Amino acid sequence: MSLDPIGDMLTPFLERLGLSRPDTAARLSGDWQQLAGEPWATRARPAGLRNGQLLVEVADAATVSVLRYRTGELLKRLDDALGEGTVEVVRLRVAKHPF
């Protein structure tokens, strides 16, 4: 039995809610190091994608300050890998739990 019909119904539903497609979220999480590159790969992790806004958790406040100036680089890399406009905004926050 194929689950394709469920996936076909689920994607438009998630998009109406402003949530990312499951495959995009899984790719962001699973391939973060390759997608983001340094310094993002080792100092930050994706926490969610909604309405084109990627929430990224960062190890500490000092790193937030550094990465804030490099969001343009990250957006370019993600456009190239995921398709233009998949991620339109990057929001940074200090992670509640160290990683």
Q: What is the pLDDT of residue 76?
A: 97
State the CATH number of the domain containing residue 62. 3.30.300.180
Instruction: Report if residue 49 sits inside a domain.
Output: yes
Residues 71-86 pLDDT 10s:
999 999 999 999 999 9
Query: At which residue do the structure tokens 């993002």 appear?
Result: 40
Whether residue 1 has pLDDT greater than 60 = no
Structural domains counted in the chain: 1
Residues 16-62 pLDDT 10s:
544 456 678 889 999 999 999 999 999 999 999 999 999 999 999 99
Backbone angles phi, psi at 75, to 5 degrees: -60, -40
Instruction: Report if residue 64 sits inside a domain.
Output: yes
Closest-CA residue to 70 (of 82, 56, 52, 49):
56
Instruction: Report if residue 99 sits inside a domain.
Output: no
Range of the domain at 16: 4-94
